[in-house]
Structure 1
């Protein structure tokens, strides 16, 4: 097994509370902020020397950690483990005036409270990534690392969005994966892009190796639906991985 596929035995904040374990937190500074799409931000953060992470890990961001309105939410790290910085890609829902809207107001020089890294996904081997919207984030470091190692051949991405402008890191993903980057749009019709939703017919036309691994991430209803469709196509449940 390649070293980057080894599991990182980390736990989510909620799990640590349940196990009565000590939770280590980090106060990190925002060193870059970039809008990747009309509603998606990338934060680049200073990385503490003692911070450890593996591909597929996530962190909890805590807002108002010392106040009565403390809130937290999980986000996947998109940097590689040996990076000198931490990267987070966050979809913002301004109309809800909630957690991500508050995060979007953070600027360069501000700080964020984050938890230790904990495992969200584990890379097991070549396969197909199936994502909806910001569900692409856990797969970004996997694709980057496979590209860096020259082992990207044999991977495929099926990526669902409403419109062309919603596709996160569109150019990079299409450059890395070429014809194996399968974008599908549910609202907009665009030349060269499939239109519709990920259903049995669509998956049947894309799933050519049911014995490979399938990594699925998106809203819970999306993930459960795709899992069921894959199993109906003969994919074994043990080969399907769904994150937090």
Structure 2
């Protein structure tokens, strides 16, 4: 049974947190897992939004970290796709050790990455997560066609949900690898030359998510090439 806890933020705003059991865990890549968890009654979010998550164990329950929903609002569960970092004993490493039946603590939803219209999505690594829920939602509504995804990773084994994106987006999905050459993937980085070669219309919407340095660099390039700053959506 779901539990509800009143939580006091340090800025003195009150919100609710929820304790939800893990229903299912699937391995996505060598260091990424998909967690399906109970959805609290009345819980709402917009595709692309995130929440704060902690593990409901004494030594970890105060360690809240932001993770993006990869499910869509209509589903009867919540879902997260989370990359673990085994090189340090942090929250993601502990999440990697959890099993079905363990509990997570969830906060209310929040986030600035929301769909504003057809355009170009540019993601780096785990920055793909906000776009997963957005694409699933658009697919369910029959509105996915006309959007393009450029997805940058180090190697082919790092590409999260590659088969889904290839099936859903077809030629509108472009994978680019920095560290290796592999069939079906371009090699290099998403820099100004890449953007100029692949994007001709800079009057459309742009969505950018990934490491802070990548988001900053790509946003600046898009503006230099004529994109409206107000049409570039990223997590501030």
TM-score, reference length from structure 2 = 0.92
- 1:160 is paired with a residue of what secondary structure? strand
Give yes or no for the alignment of 1:210 onto 2:202. Answer: yes
- 1:71 is paired with a residue of what secondary structure? coil
Q: How does 1:212-227 map to 2 (within 5 A)?
A: 212-227=204-219
1:128 positional shift: 0.7
Contact conserved, 1:76 with 1:120, CA < 8 A, in 2? no
1:212 positional shift: 0.7
Runs of 4+ in 1 over 4 A off after TM superposition: 64-69
Q: 1:68 and 1:96 mapped to 2: Cα distance?
A: 15
Q: How does 1:70-89 map to 2 (within 5 A)?
A: 70-89=62-81
Aligned with residue 221 of structure 2, among 210, 225, 229? 229
Counterpart for residue 183 of structure 2: 191
Cα–Cα, structure 1 residues 65 and 97, in superposed 2: closer, same or farther, change >3 Å? closer
Contact conserved, 2:54 with 2:61, CA < 8 A, in 1? no
Give yes or no for the alignment of 1:162 onto 2:164. Answer: no
Contact conserved, 1:45 with 1:87, CA < 8 A, in 2? yes
Contact conserved, 1:78 with 1:141, CA < 8 A, in 2? yes
Counterpart for residue 8 of structure 1: none
Q: 1:221 and 1:155 mapped to 2: Cα distance?
A: 24
Q: Any gaps of 5 or more consecutive residues in structure 1?
A: 1-12
Q: 2:73 and 2:86 mapped to 1: Cα distance?
A: 31
Q: Any gaps of 5 or more consecutive residues in structure 2?
A: 1-6
Aligned with residue 93 of structure 1, among 82, 85, 90? 85
TM-score, reference length from structure 1 = 0.89
1:70 positional shift: 2.3
1:64 positional shift: 5.7
Q: How does 1:14-163 map to 2 (within 5 A)?
A: 17-18=10-11, 20-63=12-55, 70-163=62-155
Cα–Cα, structure 1 residues 236 and 186, in superposed 2: closer, same or farther, change >3 Å? same
Q: 2:102 and 2:212 mapped to 1: Cα distance?
A: 32
